Amino acid sequence: MPELPEVQTIVDELNLKVKGKTILKSLPAIKNIKNKKILNIRRRAKYIILELSDNYILLIHLKMTGHLLLGKWEMRDNIFYPISEGPLKEDRFNQYVRTVFYLDNDFDLGFSDLRKFGQIELFKKEEFEKLEKINKLGVEPFSKDFTFKFFKGIIKNTKTNIKKLLMDQEKIAGIGNIYASEILFCARVSPLRNANSLSENEMKRIYEVIKLVLKKAIDLKGSSAFDYRRTDGIKGFYQEHSFVYGRRGEECLKCKGKVEYVKIGQRGTYFCPKCQK
């Protein structure tokens, strides 16, 4: 599932390329979307939020396999086919376009989603502001509210596993499976530990590397270990620089031991048992 760095990459690219453009229509048709101008695009946790004219909000969640693409498509037999050559046509993960927003621009906005779990919803602003699934989201890692005091507080008040805590969207918004594994490796803390067993120094190490790992991933345009692609259909680069994620059985980059793999809360977890205690 795309996480904070992947979603932020998409948001940044959309702001550069479609902010100020108008949605002429969508296929399949979305009620009230016609002729809405895109005023701004922002992220909340793993949600993409398009602020539109007339006080409308287009809310998109990529879920497991979704990503947004900029290009041109034609429909044949109820299937969207890319018109131009390149990654939209050549990369199979870009060939599951389910929805297209036609813009007054040189390209349109397509939503590719292999497993069809992604969500596209249109709300009036006042409706959006009352959405429980948005309002219950936790603090953003890059916000001023994400202080060490806050982080220490949520750790002290929970008995759950530390990796599961990092992925709890009602506590910290945007971190998922990939970056929770990477953060704990960089902090030298085992993902098998309970959160309330951590020392003050261990908590500080985790807190300090959260922003560092996420920023590095944003700089590298996200991780395309699976389906995620950028808006032009190309891969991000983080998977080429990961410390442990996806490196099961390979040599640890720090101690030369072996990266191990376990499941925590039904999610695959990568770690080095020698480096992480």
Q: Burial letters for 48-69: b for 16+ Cβ neighbours within 10 Å, e otherwise? A: bbbbbeeebbbbbbbeebbbbb
Same domain, 245 and 184: yes
**Residue 203 DSSP SS3:** helix
85-136 pLDDT, tens per residue?
899 999 999 999 999 999 998 899 999 999 999 999 999 999 999 999 999 9
Mean pLDDT, range 15-23, rounded to an integer: 97
The whole-number pLDDT of residue 199 equals 96
Residues 91 and 156 in one domain: no
- Among 114, 135, 156, residue at a domain's last position: 135
Respond yes or no: is residue 126 known to be catalytic: no
List the catalytic residue out of 36, 46, 171, 247: 46
- pLDDT band, very low/low/confident/very high, at 227 (cuts 50, 70, 90): very high
Catalytic residue among 2, 82, 87, 191: 2
Q: List the alpha helices (DSSP H) in 82-221.
A: 87-90, 125-128, 132-135, 148-156, 162-166, 177-187, 200-219
Please name the residue that has the structure tokens 């809405």.
36
Give me the mean pLDDT over the 34-51 stretch. Answer: 98
* Amino acid (1-letter code) at residue 81: Y
Structural contact between residues 111 and 143, judged by C-beta atoms closer than 8 angstroms: no
pLDDT digits over 249-261, tens only? 999 999 999 999 9
Q: Which domain holds residue 70?
A: 4-135
Structural domain includes residue 113:
yes
Mark whether 122 and 162 lie in a shared domain: no
Options 3, 51, 182, 202, the catalytic residue: 3
Residues 121 and 212 in one domain: no
CATH number of 38's domain: 3.20.190.10
Assess whether 5 carries a catalytic annotation. Answer: no
Query: What mean pLDDT is predicted for residues 224-237?
Result: 96
Q: Are residues 163 and 228 in the same domain?
A: yes
- Known catalytic membership, residue 127: no
pLDDT value at 265 more than 90? no
In a domain, 163, yes or no: yes
The tally of CA atoms less than 13 A away on the side-chain side of residue 185 is: 26
Q: Say how many residues make up the chain.
A: 277
pLDDT at 56 over 90: yes
> What is the predicted pLDDT for the residue at 106?
86
**194 pLDDT higher than 90:** yes
Task: Report pLDDT digits (tens) over 231-245.
Answer: 999 999 999 999 999
* End position of a domain, from candidates 106, 135, 164: 135
What percent of the chain is predicted at pLDDT more than 70? 100
CATH number (domain holding residue 206)? 1.10.8.50
230 labelled catalytic: no
- 142 within some domain: no
Are 257 and 157 within one domain?
A: yes
Residues 122 and 78 in one domain: yes
Active-site entry in 72, 193, 267, 273: 267
Instruction: Tell how strand 66-71 and strand 108-113 pair up.
Output: antiparallel
> For the chain, how many structural domains are there in total?
2
pLDDT at 84 over 90: no
Cα–Cα distance between 93 and 185 in angstroms, integer? 29
Q: Please give the pLDDT value at position 28.
A: 96
User: Does residue 242 share a domain with residue 165?
Assistant: yes
* pTM greater than the 0.85 cutoff: yes
Would 276 be classed as within a structural domain? no
